Structure 1
């Protein structure tokens, strides 16, 4: 009889590594059979021999291999002497490089002065005996004190786990011993390499932005700071996300942006490191009213301090600032925010306590837009009133010669407009220039400054100050004071329309915040109590009555009713929810019964919040076409400024040199060539509009993201996803769970090897093995066995082999002592076992059935055939893609015959089926298709490939492809590798993604075309290029009106996308 042992080794890179490990093991155990399964080394030796895992591990360690586990137990490196640990580092690395082809090649390719980065690992431990926040704090402090090498420890009371960063497996082992010494049962469940980068994500609401030039200005200002690594600015939502290396520099970031002429309101600062993986605490801000003396705030603080380490006060309360912010780890129903508030109230019944709800980015952006509207409207009223008498003087100017009283009157009228209506342009442009002048780079000072505010300010300033000079030089000469008033009037009208249209475009985002009610019905001792949603913690129990909206995500534990999930899926169809089903925040109980729900997520952690977060993140992702627009607009204002000066200089020189006819000057209101030429320059300043170019892509993508959400699609990849989605050449589908239903396959046929009895025990043995797996086929076997009599078989030392199956040791029952293997043909063949009943196997595969094989001690004793039904819409979707000229492929881990049978049912050609690949191998096949596929639509020289998967084991291929599309709800929404997520599990979302991407990119191109044509035509017209032939010039006032209409038309063009309807094939 053979005994099986498993050694987990992290750094197996190539065949040379495998040969060296096999040699080391077989030197000690010549009869050992060594099989490599991923990072697991499966060793089989005769049962009569004793396997010394410690000795083998030590030898492997000395050869440079990172041994993590032996037979599910961590490798204890402390068995090495301290001298060995001191000097083993470099020699181990050299030994490993000597036998590893990949490492040797890597070292040869490195620069001589390159220093290898220190690797960091994320270690996750399962903890028993941790029951409260005090336990968590004890573990936190104990580990930090006794293991100084660790970083960023995060203790999760709810999930009874600890996660931290360690430099190597040895420290991970040390942490485990420390936690055990503290009195807790501890088991290492995960050890994976991660990035060591720790940065802080600053979310802020930004005011004062009007176009992409403003966004570029803020971005340049931020990136000019040494501690800012990245900056993403969204003009439409008025928000920004900054990646900084030092949390203490937030105020410096704020000051720099405010000095540039924009407002900065901090939303949130969060560290971006491993601890994000485990949400352990909740921060609450409450307002306490009714305090009348200095002792009242102290009483509140005493109550919070009475909880010890369970509550951490962030901001203390005072009489002047009756707010207190604190952090705690909820553990409902034992420890909740309600208990904390109740204790404060009992300490002083006179106090009134209320929650302070943090504003979202959308709400703050809406406030900024309303404030900007009010500022513009007040200036519009002033300018509009003054424009009435100014109209009289403008008409008078065209009929009679202006007297000094007329000119003085226009000066009096124009002055308040210039100083009190145009001030919003002057102030912002001055701050922008001040920020640019502080730059050390001369190229930045000369070629990357200003925004539309500067152009507007220059246009009105030249008109005003030149007119003032003309008036004092000759009070009877005609001036341009009227241009100041009407120029300002149209500029303000344009700015108001711009703000209004952007607010209209972003209203869909803000409306998501209103989907959830502010109150819930909390269940307490069988009764319901109305509570604000901020008083609810995870594991609380709430009731959702008929007609009410759910305010939290949760699991139905009592009752049954139908819910309208249109806000999630786009389909207003009732979905029955009963025991065990999930209810999502924002959905409506449209049935006749109430349901009781156990809260699983609330307060910024719900599925709806995930949708909003995903869409926000998508908005921050810049597409290639947006990056081109940013480059154009960043240089637009300097170019226009220099062009306007050049235009003035050219006309002035031509006039002064006598090259221009005198009637040009006689037919104008100017009294000199300098003033006459100035009118061209002002028109250039005013008519040039970078806003149209800057808003061409963001507005269309913004509306496209909202439209996608309407059809149950989350555009997590932002503009880049839309751009690549519009140019797809190939769409690949996973089989199980994507082309097929996947969720509930059924065992249809079973074969047992003659003479092997009892057969019932074989079925139960198969179920015991598969019970450790979450794969749909494993669930089918378990379900099949559930209807049969319970037998005595038991299995231990179960090991899952990703993408292949399971290996275990039978510990009880008639097959006790046998080594059991259950999985696909590939696993069986890798173990050197014949597959057995080939006729039935081939027959079932041709019928499109998936076959699972059970082998005992190298002999196949049972076959199980599972039938997975194809999705009803699969064939229609495949046909729809093919009619669009897109090639369709299937990539599956199943055997080739089964995969081709399923593909034939869906309409995928048999030569476009890739089968028998592991999850990580799917990514390689995707890359192969990118290189070899036919590129009909792409301009990159290779095929653009999309991968559609269920989001469970398709992460590698979703990352490798150009457009990852994940199908599913719930946990799948957090899949970081997908650029699109289909909220409703319906393949018809795939052609919608493609059609919508095409519509969005067509609208972007149309916007760019219009904005470009506008500037190409209007700037030469304003500069007077056609004046020698037509003697017509663009008046600065008309130029301002044209400029306003240009940017507004781009926004309304994007809003027209809302009429998009998906094509039905």
Structure 2
């Protein structure tokens, strides 16, 4: 019987009854949705899921153009040690109809869960805790960072080592030095010696090793064994067998009366050592997050009633005036109100040169003031600041699930039960064909201990964590972690022109208006363009600076063409020739010819129609970015084709593209034309753009990369963002992506090869051929080092690209 789940969704895109109707039709078409009600005033929808799921609902709404605004909760989860742990949590969460997506990051011990509003963060934490992995709602904002487990593991390892040392020396010392054996047994009877070893080993297992038994045995009871279960079974079997030999020797055949206390103690100690080293390495892998978090100051000097007061940053509110001393970090995002000076924004863009700031310019929390005393007004606090959003993006990328992870998940899901079955088979085979019971126990314990699902589980996420952290240091933010894999397969990169390959700060270099005064023309066009974000609009406004601009009404942006407006009662159309032709305006041949001449020199022509008559053509020149030509040369050196897709006139696009070394130059494209071109390039395409009209192409490309200086819509549609606006970041991102995937392949090969090669050795496959059996202690050491190897290999990505 299907369980019904009620949902209330916030759908911000609903603006009228027609929108509500489209949402209603989209959801009614989805099987398993009942009791639907859409409120166009509150922009919400209520529905009952009876077979449908939230991911299906969100997909239907997104396809209709009205995606729901779903809350995202971040949980800190303790006790995850391998992929089988994270896989179990992910399966349980993703199986719920009111959860859209659950990303589990085993390396950071965190989960990012997108869910319905009715499912509270506290309820999500309870669900995960009930699975045996204590969870709590994580702190958000720039002050929150990953928990460092290394100190606790170091302390546990040192205690275990001190307790294990006498057990190891008293048992193994006699094998190395017979004289020591005779001296020791002359001092005390063997049974007393074994009793001492038993007490010390029990202290190791119940103290520092308790974590393995508490988590592992609980997982066994739930029918979902994982890495800790293998350790608990292996060490526990060795200890229990040895305890029976000591306390009830009559139950064990005389030939099998051997103790393995040192194996049980050393197993736990070595695995704790491996976990400690692994935690230290993972701490280095998460250094990018901690470095970003450390950029946020704790206190700031605020002007209250005209007097400076030092307050905690947490107490600040938008509108507060903050004094910024020379060399001090900016506490929160704001707008400069007093003073001029340079600010180091390298943490944001990766660019080392400071940026000059004047009153009215934006400043970003975490950046560093130069030698000037400044004052700024706070505009954003908490999770709304740029620094907090960057931290959230990096966390999201680090928790991402790459397609390559599917193979690992399929293997790890059956790995631990498979190992337990092999251990059982090994015990029976050795008991049947081996010399005695003791050898059967030791072989089975060796199989349990040497198997390492941790290495497989860490192979992908730790590489993603280090790679995305390295990208953040280079000024590359991956909004979607999947782009890390997709970029490695890139074969063609398409660039927009304006603001991407050019500086995006064009200037009006010529005005052709034979029948209209230039001042009147600039007043009217600048009044309309004041409502636009396009770089060409800023150029016209800059040229009209000082003029009294009237208010514009009915401003409508026409992506890829221009805009229309009504100014002082007159109908104004500003854009390219296509805009005029679409509107039925007769093109003035002389103005078109002059614009063509300007375009041949690399200028962009903007045509103006007033009350249905073509009256002017403006020439705007936008110099190429100095980094553009080197960026294209670097991509070509990597074997990647480069294309320019521009909405600008073909002649202008050709003039700019040829100067950058491009041969495939396509101008005069509408957003639909760009979309068609990108789709034709396939899944191995990359599109780089920055404007509103680039958003469809950014979303459709195999990987969309937005210039960080562009519009919010473009950035929201992209898979990655270049914070500095430097197109050379595209080559760096691709090189980094290839390095991440190369490291993942190396780690997966090691993890699989290690287990395939050594599990049969632990079973005793070499013994019939005169080869050695594998000691449980050696197995524990090999298992611990396997995980450390995977993490250490991933750390090499910190210097990639």
TM-score range, shorter chain: 0.7 to 0.9
Deviations 1:976-1013 (A, max 9, x none): 32222111121111111111111111111111122222
Number of positions where the alignment pairs a residue of Structure 1 with one of Structure 2? 757
CA distance in 1, matches of 2:326, 2:351: 19
Alignment match, 2:206: 419
Q: Deviations over 1:486-506 (max 9, x none)?
A: 222222222222222222322
TM-score by length of 2: 0.87
Is residue 2:795 matched to residue 1:1055?
A: yes
Residue in structure 1 matched with residue 365 of structure 2 by the alignment:
585
Shift of 1:548: 1.2
Q: Does 1:1026 align with 2:766?
A: yes
Counterpart of 1:731?
Answer: 493
Instruction: Tell me what 1:628 maps to.
Output: 407
- Equivalent residues of 1:390, 1:413 under 8 A apart: no
1:687 counterpart residue number: 450
Distance 1:725 1:819 in 2: 46
Aligned with 1:777: secondary structure? helix
Contact 1:1000 1:1057 in 2 (8 A): yes
Alpha-carbon shift at residue 907 of structure 1 (Å): 1.6
Alpha-carbon deviation of 1:405? 4.3
- Distance verdict in 2 for CA 1:116–1:760, change over 3 Å: farther
Separation of aligned partners in 2, 1:225 and 1:795: 51
Query: What SS does the aligned partner of 2:537 have?
Result: helix
Alpha-carbon offset, residue 373 of structure 1: 4.2
Matched, 1:486 2:273: no
Deviation at 1:878, TM superposition (A): 0.9
Q: What is the rounded CA distance, in whole Å, between the counterparts of 1:517 and 1:1017 in structure 2? A: 51
> d(CA) in 2 for partners of 1:531 and 1:112?
53
8 Å Cα contact 2:692/2:711 also seen in 1: no
1:1042 pairs, out of 744, 760, 782, with 782
Return the alpha-carbon distance in structure 2 between the equivalents of residues 736 and 435 of structure 1. Answer: 59
More RCO (CA 8 Å, sep 6+): 2
**Following the alignment from structure 1 to structure 2, what is the Cα–Cα distance between the partners of residues 373 and 246?**
41
Looking at structure 2, the residues matched to 416 and 113 of structure 1 have their Cα atoms a distance apart, in angstroms, of 58
CA distance in 2, matches of 1:405, 1:76: 86
State how far apart, in whole Å, the 2-side matches of 1:772 and 1:1059 are.
Answer: 44
Corresponding position: 1:565 with 2:345: yes
Alpha carbons of structure 1 residues 1026 and 399: separation in structure 2 relative to 1, 3 Å: farther
Deviations 1:82-101 (A, max 9, x none): xxxxxxx99xx9xxxxxxxx
Determine the structure 1 residue equivalent to 2:736.
Answer: 996
User: How far is 1:391 from its partner?
Assistant: 4.1
Distance in 2 between residues matched to 1:1052 and 1:723, nearest whole Å: 20
- Corresponding residue for residue 75 of structure 2: 204
Partner of 2:667: 915
The alignment partner of 1:679 has SS state of helix
**Residue 584 (structure 2) aligned to one of 832, 851, 855:** 832
Contact 2:345 2:355 in 1 (8 A): yes
Written as runs of structure 1 = structure 2, the 5 A alignment for 1:374-773 is 374-384=155-165, 386-392=167-173, 403-436=190-223, 449-471=224-246, 472-474=248-250, 477-591=257-371, 593-655=372-434, 665=435, 672=436, 674-718=437-481, 720-742=482-504, 744-753=505-514, 756-773=515-532
Q: 1:254 to 1:557 in 2, by over 3 A?
A: closer
Residues 909-944 of structure 1 show CA distances to partners (whole Å, capped at 9, x for unaligned) of 1xx3333333354223211221xxxxxxxxxxxx50
Q: 1:375 to 1:225 in 2, by over 3 A?
A: farther
For 1:982 and 1:545, the matched residues in 2 are separated by 29
Output the CA distance in 2 between the equivalents of 1:1050 and 1:75: 54
Question: 1:361-405 CA distances to partner (integer Å, 9 max, x unpaired)?
Answer: 525x23x55444444444444334544444446658997899444
Is the alpha carbon distance of 1:464 and 1:221 closer, same or farther for their aligned partners in structure 2, counting shifts above 3 Å?
farther
SS at match of 2:145: helix
Q: Which runs of 5+ in 2 are unaligned?
A: 1-12, 47-62
Equivalent position to 1:872, from 597, 602, 626 = 626
Counterparts in 2 of 1:528 and 1:252: CA distance versus 1, 3 Å: closer
1:775 correspondence with 2:556? no
Q: Aligned partners of 1:112 and 1:589: how far apart in 2?
A: 54
Against the structure 1 CA distance between its residues 467 and 826, is the aligned structure 2 distance closer, same or farther, given a 3 Å change threshold?
same
Contact 2:154 2:273 in 1 (8 A): no
What is the CA deviation profile of residues 655-684 of structure 1, one whole-angstrom value per residue up to 9, with x for unaligned ones?
A: 4xxxxxxxxx3xxxxxx2x33222222111
Deviations 1:682-729 (A, max 9, x none): 1111111111111111111111111111111112222x2111111101
Q: CA deviation at 1:564?
A: 1.9
Separation in 2, partners of 1:975, 1:492: 44
Q: Name the structure 2 match of 1:327.
A: none
Q: For the aligned residues, what is the CA RMSD? A: 3.4
1:215 corresponds to 2:2:
no
CA distance in 2, matches of 1:757, 1:262: 74
Given that residues 261 and 431 in structure 1 are in contact (C-alpha distance below 8 angstroms), is that contact kept between their aligned partners in structure 2? yes
Aligned counterpart for 2:614 among listed residues 842, 860, 885: 860
Within 5 Å, which residues of 2 pair with 1:234-273? 234-245=105-116, 247=118, 250-267=121-138
CA distance, structure 2, for counterparts of residue 759 and residue 413 of structure 1? 94
Distance change in 2, residues 1:571/1:855 (3 Å): closer
1:260–1:434 contact (8 Å) kept in structure 2: no
Structure 1 residue 422 displacement after superposition: 2.8
* 1:784 to 2:539 alignment: no
Structure showing greater Rg? 1
Q: Deviations over 1:107-139 (max 9, x none)?
A: 9xx99989899796xxxxxxxxxxxxxxxxxxx
Tell me whether 1:800 sits opposite 2:557 in the alignment: yes
Compute the displacement of 1:643 (Å).
Answer: 1.4
CA distance in structure 2 between the aligned counterparts of 1:627 and 1:989, rounded to whole angstroms: 29
Q: 3-state SS of the aligned residue for 1:985? A: coil
Partner SS, residue 834 of structure 1: coil
Cα separation, 2, equivalents of 1:197 and 1:766: 38
Q: Are the structure 2 counterparts of residues 779 and 220 from structure 1 closer, same or farther at C-alpha, using a change threshold of 3 Å?
A: closer
Following superposition, the deviation at residue 875 of structure 1 comes to: 1.2
Supply the distance in 2 between the matched residues of 1:251 and 1:603 (Cα, whole angstroms).
Answer: 21
Contact 1:923 1:957 (C-alpha < 8 Å) held by counterparts: yes
Are the aligned partners of 1:647 and 1:680 in contact in 2 as well (CA < 8 Å)? yes
Q: Which residue of 1 aligns with 2:59?
A: none
Distance 1:393 1:473, change over 3 A: same
TM-score normalised by length of structure 1: 0.66
Contact 2:82/2:458, CA 8 A, preserved across alignment? yes
Q: Is contact 1:213–1:451 with CA below 8 Å preserved after alignment?
A: yes
Change in 2 beyond 3 A, CA 1:381/1:952 = farther
Distance 1:960 1:703 in 2: 27
| Superposition map of 1:17-416 within 5 A | 149=39, 153=42, 164-165=43-44, 195=66, 197=68, 199-223=70-94, 227-245=98-116, 247=118, 250-267=121-138, 361-363=144-146, 365-366=147-148, 368-384=149-165, 386-392=167-173, 403-416=190-203
Check conservation: 1:520, 1:551, Cα contact below 8 A: yes
Kept after mapping to 1: 8 A contact 2:678/2:697: yes
Q: 1:431 to 1:252 in 2, by over 3 A?
A: farther
Separation (CA, whole Å) in 1 of partners of 2:681 and 2:229: 50
Distance change (3 Å), C-alpha of 1:635 and 1:740:
same
Q: Secondary structure at the match of 1:638?
A: helix
